[in-house]
Amino acid sequence: MASILYFIGLGSNLGAREQTIRRAISMLEKRVGKLIGEAPFVYSPAVGFVSEHEFCNTVALYESALQPMDVLAIAQDIEQQLGREKHEVRMLHGVREYTDRTIDIDLLKAYADGVELTINTPLLTLPHPQMDKRDFVQQPLKALIAKIIEQSVIPFTKMHGLGNDYIYFDCIKSVLPQVLLPVVAEYAPRLCDRHKGIGADGLVFILSDNEADYRMRIFNADGSEAEMCGNASRCVALYLKKHRYLPETDSLRLATGSGVRHIDIRDMEHIAVDMGKPVYKGTQTIGARTYHLVDVGNPHAVTILADNEPLTRDLVHTIGPQVEHYQLFPNRTNVEFCVVIDRHHVAMRVWERGSGETMACGTGATATAVACIEAGMCDSPVEVALLGGILTIEQDNHTARMIGSATEVFEGWLK
């Protein structure tokens, strides 16, 4: 396992609070791992009693090779080293004396290879069960992440597959881009904004993996996570090849939210992605239209237009969001509108779940080809013409393969 990112909360309402917390942060760095950053101190009133001292809280982020239970043991040992103090509090019904730890250290969140660690034992629960309910934790946590993004150099690469563009973060070279994960729902819309941000259909994190060669996590422009993206898969393959992560091969096993995908890099214009076995789930009437339901690791609803019906933006932008949120799809769905040109050619536009209309969609093109073949209107291979270009979909023994290009646009750094 690669390095683990630990978000650790520290708080004290006894004695020299700030000095004690700073000492604990330093002790953790010596024993846990590299200190990446710490949040400004946040003060909050004592809860449940009237006290002379407010609570002083902060959150620190460490990169460590240690496992969570080892970090917990170190935190508990530091709590003991820093000691206990006699504390007098004025309760509503009189004064009470007791001894309390000088500092409280909690493991809040932990990420390994882009995945949030979940642990539930009598000694440790991750993520911390009370974290979301405590503003004195949420406030410094978000401030810490914002501070790291502002003061650190977090590189990204902008790439697109036929105009379906994403912002790619290399988490193999550095764990730092993973600080975005706890706040991805906030930062994805901001970074993907085409007027005030970088502009993209979503974010992709390129990660190490224990079972495949590499792995990707993909988030839509609204911050929701997607299971799979064919265009992003080709771009990840291009990035890995260009940056010498695949020095001796032109093939790749890429783990995704919908399973491992095999990718062959024939050349930069012809990257073939094994899309697995699409599942055709029959048809469903929604409104006045018939939709072919196809699962390509993520859900799709494909409607085949009549020959005399134009494939327009108004159609996609009016009907697309209605079908995306239709009650039949509790997790929403991608929506494709297509016109069959002949038995090997289809024109298509797509409304992507969580992103709106995009220039291209690899899983959508695959689902469309499958739908047209199942409807008896096309034969493999099918060339699908999208706004951004053409994808070729091959189907053999119910296994689909998508072939298309990938393009790197530019590199940059978040500030």
Which are the catalytic amino acids? 229, 361
Q: What distance in Å separates the CA atoms of residue 325 and residue 330, rounded to the nearest whole number?
A: 8
Residue 5 DSSP symbol: E
- Of 6, 39, 33, 180, the residue nearest 109 (C-alpha): 6
Could you give the 3-state DSSP secondary structure of residue 103?
Answer: coil
265 with 241: CB under 8 angstroms?
yes
Q: What distance in Å separates the CA atoms of residue 380 and residue 129, rounded to the nearest whole number?
A: 51
* Residue type at position 96: R
110 with 116: CB under 8 angstroms?
yes
> Which ranges of 32-169 would DSSP assign to H, the alpha helix?
68-82, 135-151
- What are the CA-CA distances from residue 1 to residues 4, 400, 405 (Å)? 8, 32, 32
Query: Residue 268, class by beta-carbon neighbours within 10 Å (0-12 exposed, 13-18 middle, 19+ buried)?
Result: middle
Give φ, ψ of 20 to 5 degrees: -65, -45
- Of 321, 304, 289, the residue nearest 382 (C-alpha): 304
Residue 382 makes CB contacts below 8 A (sequence gap 6+) with: 344, 345, 346, 368, 369, 372, 373, 392, 393, 395
Give φ, ψ of 62 to 5 degrees: -125, 145
Q: What distance in Å separates the CA atoms of residue 220 and residue 363, rounded to the nearest whole number?
A: 14
Tokens 């995306």, residue located: 324
